[in-house]
Amino acid sequence: MSIARPAPILTITLNPAVDVSSETETVRPVRKVRTSNIRYDPGGGGINVARVITALGGKAEAYFLAGGETGSLLTRLLQAEGIAGHLVPIQGQTRISFMVRERSTGLEYRFVPEGPPVQPRELEPCLDVVASHKGQYVVASGSLPIGAPPDIYARMAKLAATRGAKFILDSSGTGLETTLKQSRLFLVKPSRGELEQFVGRKLDDAGVGRAASDIVASGAAELVAITMGVDGALLASARGVLREPAIHVRVRSALGAGDSFLGAMVWALSEGRSPEEAFRLGVAAGAAAVMKPGFELCRREEVLGLNATALSAGRESQTR
């Protein structure tokens, strides 16, 4: 008798990118800046979440809008990593983001195009897959492309809820605001800056907790996870607010920390862990990601090791 395996976690990326990273000694204007150690990675919020879930041992399917020669390159990069990717074709060329690390200062210079415009009809396959997919978790992550209606994530959330799936959102601006106003989410993960943009004002540490709790109290989301960089992270739920300090590691690049956090948290939830356990694993994954250069994401052994160390340190501090 065969045991039915759970369906993969579905991720949606409406504005993906081919992420190119390299380094040089010094960035100067006018002159040619020769770069080395060039690296190509498949990028975009949902794609990165799928990569992290896969790296941790889970199963994910990444649906993404893409077009042109760069869209084909993006597909090949995903295939090379063993990610189950599904290209939803658009007319425009998939964007290329470029990062250069300056060795003399350690600074990173990021160039991120806004991406190609899309037609509403080009989004329909993504709505269809959210409605029909068998997975119990749907993650929509990343910015809205030009031309996408602001309620597209809200529509996905409602379709997922109709079939009993848990919808998770990591976006900003109008995509975040409209979705929180028009639908009910299982989990939303803004950064501190994105939360401040949503509420329309700067927030101190106590204000971040209150704003996250207000979202839970409104019924817009069951869980609200706020990533705050060196200040750690915060999880708000009906149980209250849980704060977790950042894990101190040698930082090589801040790129991918938020996606690593979310990917690890979703994977842990899908494995049956509590929201609090999943949240702490997400913090460990974010720390593991910043240890890597450029667009490289977290690795399983580092995530589990940092999580175990943090848990041990927490237990020791409680028994003193």
Strand partners, 86: 63
| Active-site annotation holds for 259 | yes
Strand pairing category for 95-102 and 108-111: antiparallel
The CA distances from residue 67 to 43, 44, 271, in Å, are: 14, 14, 34
What number of other Cβ atoms are within 10 A of residue 178's Cβ?
19
Give Dmax (Cα) for the chain.
68
**Length of the chain measured in residues:** 320
Question: Distance (Å, rounded) from C-alpha 126 to C-alpha 144?
Answer: 13
Non-local CB neighbours of 109 within 8 Å, separated by 6+ positions: 27, 99, 100, 101, 102
| Torsion-angle region of 157 (φ positive above 0: left; ψ -120 to 50: alpha; else: beta) | alpha
Q: Which of 19, 41, 170, 259 is catalytic?
A: 259
β-strand partners of 55? none
What is the radius of gyration, based on Cα positions, of the chain?
19
Which residues are tagged catalytic?
259
